């Protein structure tokens, strides 16, 4: 029981001395323990707060030491009362939170389009969405490799969903295959039943929940701009069909990406060639492929050399002539 005094050695010494000599007063405690009167009285105040001593009923000027077993019962009763009060406060806070949620997040069936402004709003909505998902969660994850901190923070949610039997399918960019933390995260998901595939590029960030709700980024190049949550059945069905088409063409994460044409160009190189032929800049190509600007320039240079072209425009003409891209 004296563990409660482990941070106050003086109070413990005074309590033990009073148990050994219950008739002694403050003066005797000062003399016997070689402490100052201020130290003894401070210790007595601490002991009184813990119900280990109290003023004597016979002499209000003196103290009465409480036997350890009685003091323990008193302390336990106080702890139980405090725990009950704390539990009551927790229930009150939960009730207030549910009330606020019902007032500010209630959506009527007509609210088929819900605008989410800012990163915090999107995260809060997705957190609530993860609690509601029952069968399947589909995700387009453009942007390339994520930070290790972001990957770690996403694991508890993914683990909880998979443990509930939710089917998770995620499409990343081919470029993440060169990022060890992302590959390790994909293996971690696969071990728990998640399914990961990759493609050269993705149209936008997308999350589909149970074929009922779709969350789409407002700006594919700037996720901080927010998102739109869609409940319109026709729109969600179209986005679901888009996901299925991309999924069928995607490469399973644990399989190596094979060249997609007889000339030995990878799907990523073909996608870069298509984007460059449309007049997009290296920075745009880098963003779509999830690679650095330097890597995008290196891919462009390699393609020009492969096609024997002196310019990107000429590379596009040669690629169209060979049937690598549509003219």
> What is the crossing angle of helices 293-307 and 267-277, to 10°?
90
Question: In sequence order, what are the residues at sequence separation of 6 or more whose Cβ sits closer than 8 angstroms to the Cβ of residue 301?
Answer: none
Tens-place pLDDT, residues 248-291: 888 888 776 655 555 677 888 888 888 877 778 888 888 888 88
Q: Give the long-range contacts of residues 289-295, CB within 8 A, separation 24 or more.
A: 289/144, 289/173, 289/174, 289/175, 289/200, 289/201, 290/142, 290/143, 290/144, 290/145, 290/173, 290/175, 290/176, 290/201, 291/144, 291/175, 295/175
> What's the CA gap between 209 and 290, in Å, rounded?
25
Question: In sequence order, what are the residues at sequence separation of 6 or more whose Cβ sits closer than 8 angstroms to the Cβ of residue 262?
Answer: none
Label residue 273 exposed, middle or buried (CB < 10 Å: 0-12, 13-18, 19+).
buried
Tokens representing 28 are: 């005797």
> What's the CA gap between 296 and 301, in Å, rounded?
9
> What's the CA gap between 168 and 327, in Å, rounded?
37
Which three-class secondary structure state does DSSP give residue 322?
coil
The angle formed by the CA atoms of residues 231, 237 and 242, to the nearest 5 degrees, is 120
Cα dihedral 108, 114, 118, 120 sign: positive
> Could you tell me the pTM of the whole model?
0.59
The number of residues in the chain equals: 327
Per-residue pLDDT of the chain (327 residues; tens, 9 = 90+): 555 555 578 888 888 888 888 877 888 888 888 889 898 888 888 888 777 887 776 666 677 888 877 777 777 777 788 888 888 888 878 777 776 666 555 454 455 888 888 888 888 888 888 888 889 999 998 877 777 888 888 888 888 888 889 999 999 888 888 888 888 888 888 888 889 899 888 888 899 999 899 999 888 777 678 888 898 888 899 999 999 999 988 888 877 665 555 567 788 888 888 887 777 888 888 888 888 888 888 888 888 888 887 777 777 777 777 777 765
213, 138 in Cβ contact below 8 A?
Answer: no
Helix or strand holding residue 125 (H, E): helix 118-132
> What's the CA gap between 133 and 192, in Å, rounded?
17
Block residue for tokens 């019902």: 102
> What's the CA gap between 201 and 271, in Å, rounded?
7
Helix or strand holding residue 167 (H, E): strand 167-173
Q: How do strand 113-116 and strand 63-65 relate by DSSP bridges?
A: unpaired
> What's the CA gap between 44 and 291, in Å, rounded?
69
């Amino acid at each position: 029981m004296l563990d409660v005094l482990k941070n106050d050695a003086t109070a413990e010494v005074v309590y033990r001395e009073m148990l050994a000599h219950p008739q002694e007063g403050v003066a005797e405690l000062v003399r016997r323990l070689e402490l100052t009167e201020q130290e003894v009285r401070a210790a007595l105040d601490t002991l009184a707060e813990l119900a280990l001593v109290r003023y004597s009923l016979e002499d209000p000027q003196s103290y009465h030491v409480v036997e350890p077993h009685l003091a323990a019962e008193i302390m336990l009763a106080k702890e139980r009362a405090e725990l009950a009060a704390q539990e009551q406060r927790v229930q009150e806070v939960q009730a207030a939170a549910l009330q606020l949620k019902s007032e500010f997040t209630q959506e009527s069936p007509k609210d088929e389009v819900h605008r989410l402004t800012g990163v915090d709003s999107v995260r809060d909505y997705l957190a609530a969405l993860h609690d509601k998902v029952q069968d399947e969660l589909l995700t387009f994850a453009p942007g390339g490799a994520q930070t290790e901190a972001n990957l770690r923070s996403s694991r508890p949610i993914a683990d909880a969903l998979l443990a509930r039997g939710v089917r998770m399918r995620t499409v990343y960019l081919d470029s993440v295959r060169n990022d060890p933390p992302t590959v390790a995260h994909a293996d971690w998901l696969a071990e728990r039943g998640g399914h990961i595939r990759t493609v050269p590029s993705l149209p936008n960030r997308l999350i589909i929940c149970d074929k009922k709700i779709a969350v789409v980024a407002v700006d594919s190049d700037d996720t901080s701009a927010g998102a739109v949550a869609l409940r319109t059945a026709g729109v969600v069905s179209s986005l679901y069909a888009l996901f299925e088409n991309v999924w069928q063409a995607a490469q399973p994460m644990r399989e190596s990406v094979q060249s997609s044409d007889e000339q030995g160009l990878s799907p990523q190189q073909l996608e870069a060639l298509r984007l460059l032929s449309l007049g997009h800049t290296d920075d745009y190509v880098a963003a779509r492929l999830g690679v650095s600007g330097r890597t995008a320039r290196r891919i462009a240079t390699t393609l020009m050399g492969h096609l024997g072209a002196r310019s990107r425009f000429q590379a596009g003409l040669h690629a169209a002539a060979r049937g690598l891209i549509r003219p």
